[in-house]
Structure 1
Amino acid sequence: MFDFANSGYTTVIITAIFNAYFVAVIANNEDWGTFAWTASLAVSYMLIILTAPALGAYADAYAVKKPLLLATTAGCIVFTALLYYAGPGDLWLAIILIILTNFFFGSGENLIAAFLPELAKDQSIGKVSGWGWGLGYLGGLFTLGCCLVYVTWAQTQGHETSQYVPVTMIITAAIFAVASLPTFLYLKERAQPQPHRHGRRIVYESFSRLRDTLKHVRHYQDLMRFLVCLVFYQAGIQTVIALAAIYAQQAMGFDTQETLLLILLVNITAALGAFAFGHIQDKLGHLLTIALTLVGWIIMILMAWAAEDRAMFWAAANLAGLCLGASQSAGRALVGLFSPVTRRAEFFGLWGLAVKLSSILGPLTYGWVSWISQGDHRLAMLITGSYFIIGLLILARINVVRGQLAAQHDPATTKL
């Protein structure tokens, strides 16, 4: 249900509405507009990278994932609602708010992922992860659908973009708040507090636990190798997520309503991909599932780059949806299999760190290329697609059985 709740944020703010609004209205369609958007996201992801390991280690040490999740959720909801006040020319207000709201969203994303191994057995972790991603896309569909209904009505009333887009920020924040309530009412904290270093400060203790894990990094060689793989292939995925609406409007000439319909359909195919692959990846294997989706991503990038008519671009977008649901679900499940029981939040913090690093690398590459090429979004998409090829090459060197054995025989669990 939390996946259902928070997915509206990424769908509306990062993928479908606010990103295109930021470039077209707030930045007034300047050549640097896309770069300013990707740079703002990069700052928020860098903040997450700096805080995620300590936050995860602290959550493990004190078994407080749920209270921390509540705090990050509240922060994301409040700052998303405040985006209502970011209008034409309010560049710095928009930048500050998007940094804050995305920081709280990303931190919460790490925390909710750490609950996964507590809720599913090893042999069904892929299926449960797939359910979560699938419901997430349904949540994104619901929120985007509500926004589309309002936008369609506002356009019939003759409202300008700067009038109706801010209201969608309020809609998104409200749905996130209401839909997250079941999580905080019913989800239990099953983890037990870990031994603490007596008399040490909380932050110091958290980084000490992280240092203990990094000392044994060779023991988790498959986890670390997968995290490196994740950085590269997620760089491509995060580029598509953050810039889909911008590409549709700038390269293909879509208007706001067409863009919303496109993202709605993509969310449907993403939900189908997550549910379908969630059921078969435990049998097919998480590694093979990810490899197949990476091949699909490469094909999708080539289709989007070559698309001259909207039919081909729609086909590419829906292929992206299928690959998105499957690759996100399988990646999260694989990290769960590679994580020792006593360090799940910490290792999912490392997973979140890798995803956030990719969220800096991919979109910034796209933004920089589009800037120096004076708005050539096709070239930017093609270049960032190379990250999927790099990820596929690294993936071939990962051994799932060895990674699971390493997690079951955890040398980092020492007396603190």
Structure 2
Amino acid sequence: MKEKLVDYTNNYKRTIFTWSLYDFANQPYPTIVITFVYSSFFTHDLAKGYANADSLWLFAISICAIIIALLSPLMGAIADRSGYRKTYLISCTWICILSSIFLYFPMQGQIFLALFLVVISNAAFEMGQVFCNSYLPDIAPKEKIGRISGYGWSLGYLGGLIALTVCLLVFYFPSNPVNPFTGNFLNKETFEHVRAMPIFIAIWFAVFSLPTFIFLKDRKIDRTKKVSIKKSYYELIKTFKEIKKYKNIVRFLIGRMLYNDAILTIFSFGGIYAREKFGWDIEMVLIFGIGLNIAAGIGAFVFGFLDDRLGAKRTIQISNYAIFIAVMIAVLASSENWFWVAGIIMGIASGPNQSASRSLMGRIIPKEKTNEFYGFYAFSGKATSFAGFLLLSIMILITGSQEIGMLVVSLLLIGGIYILSKVDDQAKQEI
């Protein structure tokens, strides 16, 4: 199928901004729901009285990871051949938005309804990331791909920071918080002020994703040929069979699979871990999240420039080592101050890790298979992430120690560092 990349020359700055704005729009979702607020609210309040609530949460995230692992390569292949990439992006966005709104309704004890909505919303969020990431090689010159990826992540962390701050000031600090959507008071005894936060981030997502949907153009593809799921599936199988021709890309994806699994698991468990270890309430978790997002935004922006100078691979490795050190500090932390040190290091390192990984992928993949390989990129990020969450869950169940669980998961990070060291970041493979 013939396809032509859109010429963005005349509207280059607007294109970069509107693409990056999607990160600004969607980042509050994982920040509020998955990492800091709703996760710790679930384990300590919504599931109060349930044994091993933290393991239940981890199991739900594992299910979501399996869904993404199964769907992302296939959806990427379909998008490559159909030309409806933005349509898929919009659909995933609105599924995430609607299911996030419904997170307001589960009350204390209704844990399985809450987990179901989390799985749906998180799966839709991650699928949207597949299609958003696939635009990067189209809109960015190779010599600027690192900094542009960094712009996106920086805006994303800025969005997360603003959302956390609004949640703290509007929903948590007031003794009688007012629902900004209805004007009624929010009942703190039923945790209504916490349950309203997903509604806020859903509205945020809907509003700030609009410029991306309006101004970001898609590839021009010959749509006279019919595109079927069956054909896309066979094309995907064909790519799997030919994958040995992309040894360097496969090596990178496997390495990323390991280090990203470790980072996702540890980062997503941060709010739960802080509440358990230091007895923090939602207020302290929100403040901690604000600090991490400031650090992550700075890290993503600064290292975006270093990515283009040092190379994406070296940037990733520096951040991986820093994250490993941060995990060791967090596990051994005897005071909240040391935990804050670990969190700031983790924040600074996580931003460039994600943006440099995305830019390295854009540098080494063939352009004609952009969506398909970004599908595999999402696959490598999710294919075994359920194992990371399950591993942490099992270790907590066996040992009763969250610290031991985190130490075991950090071994995945070491494996990723080793495999990434074998990747040639200068090779752009074609077949």
Does TM, scored on the shorter chain, surpass 0.5?
yes
Does residue 111 of structure 1 match 2:137?
no
Flag the 1:231–1:31 CA change in 2: closer, same or farther, 3 A: farther
Q: What amino acid does structure 2 have at the position aligned with 1:381?
A: M
Q: Aligned-pair distance for 1:148?
A: 1.1
* Structure 1 pair 399–175 and aligned structure 2 pair: CA distance change class (3 A): same
CA shift in 2, pair 1:45/1:334, >3 Å: same
User: Structure 1's 86 and 154: CA in aligned 2 closer, same or farther, altered over 3 A?
Assistant: farther
The answer to whether structure 1 residue 390 and structure 2 residue 419 are counterparts is: no
Deviations 1:118-161, CA, capped at 9 Å, x for gaps:
11011111110000000000011111111111233444568236
The answer to which of 49-58 and 344-353 deviates more is: 49-58
C-alpha deviation, 1:47, in angstroms? 1.3
Contact 2:39 2:57 in 1 (8 A): yes
Contact persistence 1:286–1:331 (CA under 8 A): yes
Query: 2: CA distance between counterparts of 1:276 and 1:123?
Result: 16
Bigger Cα displacement from structure 2, 142-151 vs 73-82: 142-151
Match of residue 334 from structure 2: 308
Between 149-158 and 330-339, the greater mean CA deviation after superposition: 149-158
Quote the residue 1:317 is aligned against: 343
Equivalent residues in 2 for 1:237-386, closer than 5 Å: 237-374=263-400, 376-386=401-411
How large is the RMSD of aligned CA atoms in angstroms? 1.6
| TM-score when normalising by structure 1 | 0.93
Contact 2:172 2:193 (8 Å CA) reproduced: no
- In 2, Cα distance between the equivalents of 1:317 and 1:391? 21
Distance across 2 between alignment mates of 1:338 and 1:161: 51
**What SS class does the counterpart of residue 68 from structure 1 fall into?**
helix
Where in structure 2 are the equivalents of 1:43-192 lying within 5 Å? 43-155=63-175, 159-160=188-189, 162-192=191-221
Q: TM-score, normalised by structure 2?
A: 0.90
Structure 2 unaligned regions, length at least 5: 1-20, 178-186
Displacement of 1:299 after TM fit? Answer: 0.4
1:33–1:266 CA distance, 2 compared to 1 (3 A): same
Residue equivalent to 2:184:
none
Q: Contact 1:23 / 1:29 at 8 angstroms: preserved in 2?
A: no
Q: Which moved more, 1:62-71 or 1:210-219?
A: 210-219
Specify whether residues 256 and 280 from structure 1 end up closer, same or farther in structure 2 by C-alpha distance, changes over 3 A only.
Answer: same
Kindly provide the CA deviation profile for residues 364-413 of structure 1, in whole angstroms up to 9, marking residues without a partner as x. 22122112223x111112211111111111111111223x1x1xxx32xx
User: Is this contact kept in 1: 2:315–2:353, CA < 8 A?
Assistant: yes
- 1:160 is paired with a residue whose SS is helix
The 2-side partners of 1:205 and 1:35 are apart by 39
Change (3 A) 1:336 1:29: farther
Aligned position for 1:204: 230
2:413 and 2:171 map into 1 onto residues whose CA distance is 35
1:46-101 Cα offsets, whole Å, 9 max, x none, are 11211111111110101111011010001000000000011210011011111111
Question: 2:7 matched to which residue of 1?
Answer: none
Contact 2:323–2:349 (CA under 8 A) maintained in structure 1? yes
2:413 partner letter:
F
In percent, how many aligned pairs have the same letter? 31
The runs of 5 or more residues in structure 1 that have no matched partner are 412-416
Q: CA deviation at 1:211?
A: 2.0
Which AA in structure 2 matches 1:188? K
Counterpart contact for 2:68–2:383, Cα < 8 Å: no
Task: Check conservation: 2:160, 2:293, Cα contact below 8 A.
Answer: yes
Q: Count the aligned residue pairs.
A: 402
More divergent stretch after superposition (380-389 vs 265-274)? 380-389
> Deviation of residue 26 (structure 1)?
2.1
